[in-house]
């Protein structure tokens, strides 16, 4: 690549745009003529194919009909039935707009990107330049392959892609320029632009079941006789079919599967329904639950996970605990020889995606909140969020003479004493400690009840008096007391990064004040997790404890990572925000529970692209941060999953095929037990999934 583009290309951006726009009218007129000729040619081909099978009288009757059809489609009489004039004009406008954008992109690449592109370059030249910079070989006919290959794709393959009336042009889109060192040879996603802070990370070869927008894919253009590309189709390890004398690529009926027989045993748990225990702390449906648990036991599920709700157990008065319903549930689980994962749920249930019951915080806490609403997280507009308590009251005696961490510790200690025999017998295998909304270590930055909708960036939650007091203290220690405020240009819940002055590229998030604020904001999150987990380790000594992180993957490809910043993860493109969290967990011997490990969101591909999302890149950044400090990783699915493709994607992530150290997840929790899961076909797929997680052989690996 040349170093001075203005020397190599003596055409300015404005000249390029003018030339591109001047070509539009000519090419549009040519497209019209070519289109009319192709319609007529296709109709005549139809005549040739029909003639041999008809009698002479049939041919005589057929010719006028054919001529009338051709006349109608090719503009006879000044009217076009198949392509109205208005649609034609709209097409011209879209094409002009597209070409104007292309001209600006090409001019920008010449001027600022050191790409030696010809004046009349098109998108093929851009792709070829990117591919060559990334180390690929691009032949003049468009054939593209990695430079490490000794030969181009077999000629027989391309020959098989050609028919008498149409031609298939296969082109593999190259990945971005490789800048990471020590990365595995698999395809690398857009997370590579974070290379300045992700050295030597492990990125596995993607599964053939990963159809997300970040997975590598080949695309095919169906080219008509005239050379005009008429359709683009994804190529995913498929087979060719001939339809209407044109070859297209279709999805295979059977995708190849990994054989997990003999792989590591990964325990599988099933999360129980949110309302399995009612507000009176009683089992809602003991008989129905017992039947379901027996069915789960019959397919060798290892155990179940259940939320122990603070709002149910300590509902009416401080330190008055009612564990009756949980006692009966745990006895039932023990009799079936299942194991238990329990969640210390110090948050509200209801109002979030997937919540089908309402379980508020304890009544006595709500009473305190009515007289002192500052105990709840607050946004810039002053809206309170009673989903959980503000972290800056961890050391404030505002809960009937106790601090928040004392309340949490008393609750956990009561649970440990109440169910001592289950701990001693190993029935309770893991305790997940709730650290924020939905039990996750994050700020409630995206509350649905306040109008947030995906893919909004959310809002900072730092405007209660206790958080502002902490911010003011931090600003004074820094010597800039005027920094004791939240950002005033960070948008609203449903803003996008480029719409704000704080999160846009080059925005205030990366300025002196922005870095100070984000460092303080994320440190409050770390301090809260550190305090609560230190007490959890004391209460549950000898039992595995975990902390849960969400998968906030939208706007991950934006430089600021805005949605992560508002949630408390200081993880822009020039900083790693997850290493500090993993180090904190390692300090307390805690495992990491991550809820975005399947990254299989096929139905949301359009949304992922619009939101610059990269679930795969986020997953592997978090996993590498955890593995670097050698802490166990547990996982659960973030979305409903009942199909084989989804299960295979989970398996490929739980047991990475090409991890050089043979690492895998410590357990997997299926989210969640429901009548839909118990349907025959769905349950058969789930049983097969459990066997493969356990490393057992299945009878139909290719079915």
Beta-strand ranges (E) seen in 4-152 are 136-138, 144-146
Helix axes 579-587, 512-539, angle to 10 degrees: 20
Residue 314 sits at φ, ψ, to 5 deg, of -115, 45
Q: Which helix (H) or strand (E) holds 249?
A: strand 246-250
**Chain centre to alpha carbon of residue 660:** 25
Residue 350, classified by CB atoms within 10 Å of its CB into exposed (0-12), middle (13-18) or buried (19+), is: middle
Helix (H, G, I), strand (E, B) or coil at 136: strand
Active site residue: 257, 392, 432, 636, which one? 636
Among the listed residues 573, 567, 578, 576, the one whose alpha carbon sits nearest the alpha carbon of residue 506:
573
* Distance, CA of 425 to CA of 415 (rounded, Å): 15
Contact criterion met (CB below 8 Å) for 43 and 70 = yes
Contact criterion met (CB below 8 Å) for 220 and 170 = yes
For 354, residues 6+ apart whose C-beta sits below 8 A from its C-beta are none
Long-range contacts of 676-680 (CB under 8 A, 24+ apart): 676/640, 676/642, 677/642, 678/292, 678/295
Contact criterion met (CB below 8 Å) for 301 and 308 = no
Residues 603, 572, 439: CA angle, nearest 5 degrees: 60
Contact criterion met (CB below 8 Å) for 117 and 9 = yes
Q: Is 440 assigned a catalytic role?
A: yes
DSSP letter string over 556-605? SSSSS-HHHHHHT----TTS-SSHHHHHHHHHTT-EEEES--S---GGGH
Long-range contacts of 33-41 (CB under 8 A, 24+ apart): 34/226, 34/228, 35/83, 36/74, 36/75, 37/226, 38/224, 38/225, 38/226, 38/228, 39/70, 39/73, 39/74, 40/70, 40/74, 41/225
Contact criterion met (CB below 8 Å) for 114 and 1 = yes
Side-chain-facing half-sphere of 527: CA atoms under 13 Å? 14
The neighbour count for residue 38, using CB atoms within 10 Å, is 16
* Distance, CA of 644 to CA of 610 (rounded, Å): 27
Q: Is 86 assigned a catalytic role?
A: no
HEC states along 597-640?
A: CCCCCHHHHHHHHHCCCCHHHHHHHHHHHHHHCCCCEEEECCCC
For 591, residues 6+ apart whose C-beta sits below 8 A from its C-beta are 430, 544, 545, 546, 547, 585, 631, 632, 633, 634, 666
Contact criterion met (CB below 8 Å) for 651 and 693 = yes
CA–CA distances in Å: residue 325 to residues 48, 313, 328, 422, 675: 79, 9, 5, 15, 22
Active site residue: 192, 374, 387, 440, which one? 440
* Distance, CA of 648 to CA of 637 (rounded, Å): 12
Residue 256 sits at φ, ψ, to 5 deg, of -65, 140
DSSP letter string over 499-552? GSTTTSTT-GGGSHHHHHHHHHHHHHHHHHHHHHHHHHHHHTTTSEEEEEE---
Helix (H, G, I), strand (E, B) or coil at 306: strand
By annotation, the residues acting in catalysis are: 440, 636
């Amino acid at each position: 690549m040349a170093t001075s583009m203005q020397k190599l290309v003596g055409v300015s951006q404005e000249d390029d745009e003018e030339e591109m726009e001047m070509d539009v009218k000519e090419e549009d007129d040519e497209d019209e003529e070519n289109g009319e000729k192709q319609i007529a040619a296709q109709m005549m081909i139809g005549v040739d194919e029909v003639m041999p099978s008809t009698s002479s009288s049939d041919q005589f009757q057929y010719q006028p009909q054919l001529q009338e059809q051709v006349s109608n489609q090719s503009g006879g009489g000044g009217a076009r039935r198949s392509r109205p004039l208005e649609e034609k004009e709209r097409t011209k406008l879209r094409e002009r707009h597209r070409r104007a954008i292309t001209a600006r992109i090409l001019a920008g690449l010449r001027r600022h990107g050191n790409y030696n592109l010809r004046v009349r370059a098109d998108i093929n030249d851009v792709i070829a330049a990117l591919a060559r910079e990334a180390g690929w070989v691009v032949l003049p006919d468009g054939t593209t392959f990695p430079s490490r290959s000794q030969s181009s794709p077999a000629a027989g393959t391309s020959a098989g892609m050609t028919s008498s009336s149409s031609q298939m042009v296969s082109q593999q889109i190259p990945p971005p320029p490789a800048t990471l060192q020590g990365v595995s040879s698999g395809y690398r996603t857009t997370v590579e632009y974070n290379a300045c802070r992700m050295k030597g990370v492990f990125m596995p070869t993607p599964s053939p079941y990963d159809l997300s927008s970040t997975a590598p894919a080949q695309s095919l253009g169906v080219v008509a006789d005239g050379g005009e590309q008429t359709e683009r189709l994804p190529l995913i390890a498929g087979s060719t079919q001939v339809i209407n004398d044109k070859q297209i690529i279709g999805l295979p009926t059977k995708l190849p599967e990994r054989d997990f027989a003999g792989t590591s045993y990964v325990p599988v748990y099933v999360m129980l329904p949110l309302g399995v225990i009612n507000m009176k702390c009683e089992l809602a449906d003991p008989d129905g639950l017992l039947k379901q648990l027996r069915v789960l036991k019959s397919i060798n599920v290892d155990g179940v996970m259940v939320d122990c709700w603070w709002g149910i157990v300590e509902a009416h008065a401080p330190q008055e605990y009612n564990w009756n319903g949980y006692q009966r549930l745990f006895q039932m689980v023990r009799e079936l020889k299942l194991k238990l994962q329990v969640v210390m749920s110090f948050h509200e249930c209801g109002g979030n995606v997937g919540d089908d019951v309402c379980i508020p915080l304890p009544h006595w806490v709500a009473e305190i909140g009515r007289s002192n609403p500052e105990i709840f997280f607050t946004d810039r507009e002053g809206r309170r969020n009673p989903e959980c308590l503000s972290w800056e009251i961890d050391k404030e005696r505002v809960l009937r003479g106790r601090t928040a961490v004392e309340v949490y510790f008393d609750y956990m200690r009561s649970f440990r004493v109440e169910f001592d025999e289950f701990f001693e017998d190993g029935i309770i295998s893991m305790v997940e400690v709730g650290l924020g909304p939905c039990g996750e270590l994050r700020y409630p930055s995206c509350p649905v009840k306040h109008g947030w909708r995906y893919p909004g960036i959310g809002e900072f939650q730092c405007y209660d008096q206790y958080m502002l007091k902490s911010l003011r203290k931090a600003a004074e220690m820094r010597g800039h007391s005027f920094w004791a405020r939240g950002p005033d240009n960070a948008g609203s819940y449903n803003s996008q990064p480029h719409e704000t002055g704080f999160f846009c590229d080059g925005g205030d998030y990366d300025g002196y004040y922005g870095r100070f604020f984000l460092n303080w904001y994320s440190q409050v999150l770390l301090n809260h997790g550190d305090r609560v987990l230190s007490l959890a380790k004391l209460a549950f000594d000898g039992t595995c404890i975990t902390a849960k992180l969400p998968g906030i993957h939208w706007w991950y490809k934006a430089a600021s990572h805005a949605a992560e910043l508002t949630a408390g993860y200081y993880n822009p493109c020039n900083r790693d925000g997850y290493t500090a969290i993993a180090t904190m967990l390692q300090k307390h011997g805690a495992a990491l529970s991550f809820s975005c490990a399947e990254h299989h969101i096929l139905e949301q591909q359009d949304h992922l692209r619009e939101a610059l999302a990269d679930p795969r890149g986020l997953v592997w950044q978090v996993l590498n941060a955890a593995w670097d400090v050698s802490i166990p990783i547990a996982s659960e699915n973030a979305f409903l999953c009942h199909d084989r493709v989804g299960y295979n994607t989970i398996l490929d992530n739980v047991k990475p095929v090409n991890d050089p150290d043979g690492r895998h997840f410590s357990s997997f929790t299926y989210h969640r037990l429901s009548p839909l899961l118990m349907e025959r076909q769905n349950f058969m797929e789930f049983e097969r999934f459990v066997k493969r997680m356990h490393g057992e052989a299945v009878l139909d690996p290719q079915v």
